[in-house]
Amino acid sequence: MSAPAVVAHTKRVCTLYKKALRNLEAWYDRRYIYRYHATILRARFDQHKAERDPAVIAQLVADGEREVFEKQHFQPKKFCKPPCPDKKKSD
């Protein structure tokens, strides 16, 4: 893989991991239950950390994205974006 492809792949995996964590956060309101499932999720990601075959990696990421979509919460938590401090108010 070339450098830009590696960066794109790394970003895609990190985004998948964060989406999966946010989904777990929506499903489990008790912190200790959420942390338990987050630890299991991290172990699943670490299990394939050393994989080097691009075809296998692409399949794993696609399967992960499909799993997150299928298991998404019916009312996910949404976080508001803070207002941008650089913008000037127009009169």
- Please check the confidence at residue 2 and state whether its pLDDT lies above 70: no
pTM above 0.85, yes or no: no
- Please check the confidence at residue 86 and state whether its pLDDT lies above 90: no
CA distance 89 to 72: 38
CA distance 66 to 59: 10
Q: Which residue has the tokens 């489990």?
A: 28
* Residue at 27 is within a domain: yes
Convert the pLDDT of each residue in 22-66 to its tens digit. Answer: 999 999 999 999 999 999 999 999 999 998 898 999 999 999 999
| Residues above pLDDT 70, as percent of the chain | 84
* Residue at 79 is within a domain: no
Q: Which residue has the tokens 């019916």?
A: 74
Q: Which residue has the tokens 């992960």?
A: 64
Range of the domain at 22: 3-70
CA distance 53 to 72: 28
Domain count, the chain: 1
